[in-house]
Amino acid sequence: METNKLLHHMAEIEELAEDIISDKHQMVELDKKRQKTREAIRILSKDKKTQKSWVCFGDMFIKLPVSDTKKLLEKDFNGLDTEIADVSKGLKPKVNKLRDLEHKDDAKGFSLNSMSREELQAVEALL
């Protein structure tokens, strides 16, 4: 009986740890996409000569005005930001649950939230 309980507990810890690793990997992949999108937006912003650009949609390329392309990229960028934030919010309770299962104290400073752009601008205005 005690062995089954221990095995179940260890399996629960292992499953949760794998889920946490998967979420962290997903955040890294989403951040890579976000950085590539940021690079593309910057390149389009710098190039004042080009009026249209080629954009890949699925398995086809379409030529769009640069302004439309930038709008699409900015929408994707914001969507990736939101997705990363959602995964991050879901990660915190999982890590706390894992630490509880391992009979460890909560990670100090792990529940801190980053400042929003508005908050950061307000602090910069004060300095």
pLDDT in tens, the chain (127 residues): 588 898 998 999 999 999 999 999 999 999 999 999 999 999 999 988 888 999 988 899 999 999 999 999 999 999 999 999 999 989 888 988 998 888 887 666 656 677 788 888 899 998 8
Residue 119 lies in a domain: no
User: Model pTM?
Assistant: 0.74
Residue 110 lies in a domain: no
Structural domain harbouring 18: 2-105
Residue 125 lies in a domain: no
> What span, in angstroms and rounded, lies between the C-alpha atoms of 34 and 14?
30
CATH number, domain containing residue 41: 1.10.287.370
Angle formed by the axes of helices 66-101 and 2-46, nearest 10°:
160
Residue 12 lies in a domain: yes
Of 25, 33, 14, the C-alpha closest to 82 is 33
E strand residue ranges, the chain = 52-57, 60-65
Q: How many folded domains does the chain comprise?
A: 1
Residue 114 lies in a domain: no
